[in-house]
Amino acid sequence: MSHCRRIVYPCRYIRVGFFTMLLAAPLYASESPPIQTTPMSGGDGSVEQFDHNAYSLPLGNMSMTKRLDFSVGNSFFRNPWVAAPASTEARDGLGPLFNTNSCQGCHIKDGRGHPPTGDENPIALFLRLSLPSSQAEPEVLEQRGALPVPNYGLQLQTAAISGAQPEAKMLIEYRPREVTFADGSSVTLQEPLYSIAEPAYGELPENLQTSPRLAPPMIGLGLLEAIPEADLLAAADPDDADGDGISGRANRVWDLRTGSTVMGRFGWKAGEPSIEQQGLHAFAGDMGLTSSLVPHTDCTESQGCDDFPNGGTPEVSDDVADFVTFYASSLAVPMRRNMDDPAVKQGAERFNALGCASCHTPRHRTAANADRPALADQIIWPYSDLLLHDMGDALADQRSEFKADGREWRTPPLWGIGLAHTVNPRAGFLHDGRARTLEEAILWHGGEAEEATQGYRDLPEDQRAELIRFLESL
């Protein structure tokens, strides 16, 4: 079988790559990437919901008792947190520095966020910060993944409660970049240029590293967590031993629960090992809220955050943390649509032929012994290998995170991508939302995806449209 390169693709950025299909079970013995023939992308828990609430339903195979827990978690995910002290004691302690006051503020309708326009304050898009890893002690990199910036930490907070000063303003400018297809037609991409203005806590260092991050969709996270690690690692080829140009590798990150280094699978660079840790780091970094797992926020000593009232120790109780984690792990994946459309079928074949499935692995099976019956032993179609891939210069942020380097990104799942603009009409694709359409997201892919991206540019217009139709059906 010829190995096509991968075409990273959009999902708030989506990556499309080609990866010889092979989950370590007889089901995956075929040499060619499988073509999905069932609409049940998220297994038995898939839901038939295609409107603006398409990403917000619980797993369809979940018990009624568990749906009550889901509803409680949803309330804490959706409703805003406030500054302390407040009469709403279960939701106070916001800030003093933060990016947004609710989880839903970034994950709009449980879907993708969008970049700010005009004079809007960024909410669903923020900047990670760090200094070059060469300056860090090994223990810092092992446990934090990057070296914090003096006075500013690891994330730029652009909002603050009354009496506090936001860290700075994040500014974005766009310059056009034209891409021409083999047939002579063209499309104009928008390349974002980021800068920081009005820093409030001292000058920023000249060697500052930044990485923009847009809130990704929340669907199917529990299913992704239930994929056996051995299956994911079996697909890794860090040294490209088979010579196909695809070098997926696992990130190795710090697990706060076990106090050890484990495989990462969540976040843009697979920098988080679990849904729980990812969520509680977001509480701390995005909203300035402590928990027993993450007892410190990103606020630095020089910023004087301890001078403000807090919402208790911790501010996010263990019960609330558990409910929110359960909610985040229980959001269902919408069923596929228009699967009998000839254009969609042709697009699926083209997806494989170009090499998109090299990284966007279509099919997985969750562990039979997963903790929750609704997640166990499910055939799912996320279109991701959850591994790191070199995406080329155009998408590089030049900032490392644990073992991920400045050119690498985790393959984002594609399931549900066709409903992104139904859920949030302003949703952006790729890690910073620069791509306004699925086609733009494809065209930004380079590195390991360059050959597949070039293959897309070489297609005639009707065949490019078929590939997009396929992606829209997911």
Note the pTM of the prediction, 2 decimals: 0.92
Omega within 30 of 0 (cis) for the link into 412: no
Q: Alpha-carbon distance 144 to 165, whole Å?
A: 25
Query: What is the DSSP secondary-structure string of 11-43?
Result: SSS----B-----SSGGG--SSPPPP-SS-TTG
Q: Alpha-carbon distance 275 to 224, whole Å?
A: 10
pLDDT in tens, the chain (474 residues): 333 333 333 333 333 333 333 333 334 334 589 999 999 999 999 999 999 999 999 999 999 999 999 999 999 999 999 999 999 999 999 999 999 999 999 999 999 999 999 889 899 999 999 999 999 999 999 999 999 999 999 999 999 999 999 999 999 999 999 999 999 999 999 999 999 999 999 999 999 999 999 999 999 999 999 999 999 999 999 999 999 999 999 999 999 999 999 999 999 999 999 999 999 999 999 999 999 999 999 999 999 999 999 999 999 999 999 999 999 999 999 999 999 999 999 999 999 999 999 999 999 999 999 889 999 999 999 999 999 999 999 999 999 999 999 999 999 999 999 999 999 999 999 999 999 999 999 999 999 999 999 999 999 999 999 999 999 999
Is 295 part of a structural domain of the chain? yes
What pLDDT, on the 0 to 100 scale, is given for residue 388? 98
Tally of domains in the chain: 1
Is 2 part of a structural domain of the chain? no
What pLDDT, on the 0 to 100 scale, is given for residue 32? 83
What pLDDT, on the 0 to 100 scale, is given for residue 31? 55
Is 4 part of a structural domain of the chain? no
What pLDDT, on the 0 to 100 scale, is given for residue 463? 98
Q: Which of 325, 253, 282 is nearest to 154 (CA)?
A: 282
Is 37 part of a structural domain of the chain? yes
Q: Alpha-carbon distance 95 to 299, whole Å?
A: 9
| Residue indicated by tokens 């009624």 | 64
Parallel, antiparallel or unpaired: strands 209-214 and 125-130: antiparallel
SS3 category, 429: strand
Alpha-carbon distance values, 41 to 6, 358, 395 (Å) = 21, 18, 28
Q: Alpha-carbon distance 165 to 303, whole Å?
A: 9
Is 21 part of a structural domain of the chain? no
| Residue indicated by tokens 């038995």 | 44
What pLDDT, on the 0 to 100 scale, is given for residue 446? 98
User: How much of the chain is helix, strand and coil, in % rounded to 5?
Assistant: 30, 15, 55
Mark out the alpha helices in 118-252 (DSSP H runs): 138-144, 221-225, 229-234
Q: Alpha-carbon distance 408 to 387, whole Å?
A: 9
261 touches 254 (CB < 8 A): yes
What pLDDT, on the 0 to 100 scale, is given for residue 18? 31
Is 412 part of a structural domain of the chain? yes
- H/E element, 365: strand 364-365
Dihedral, 355, 360, 365, 367 alpha carbons, nearest 10: 140
SS3 category, 212: strand
Mark out the alpha helices in 190-312 (DSSP H runs): 221-225, 229-234, 275-287
Q: Alpha-carbon distance 255 to 64, whole Å?
A: 32
Is 3 part of a structural domain of the chain? no
Q: Rounded to 5 degrees, what angle do the CA atoms 401, 142, 433 make?
A: 15
Instruction: Count CA within 13 A, CB hemisphere, residue 401.
Output: 28
Question: Cα-flanking dihedrals φ and ψ of residue 18, to 5°?
Answer: -110, 135
Expressed as residue numbers, the domain containing 195 is 26-473
Is 98 part of a structural domain of the chain? yes
SS3 category, 188: strand
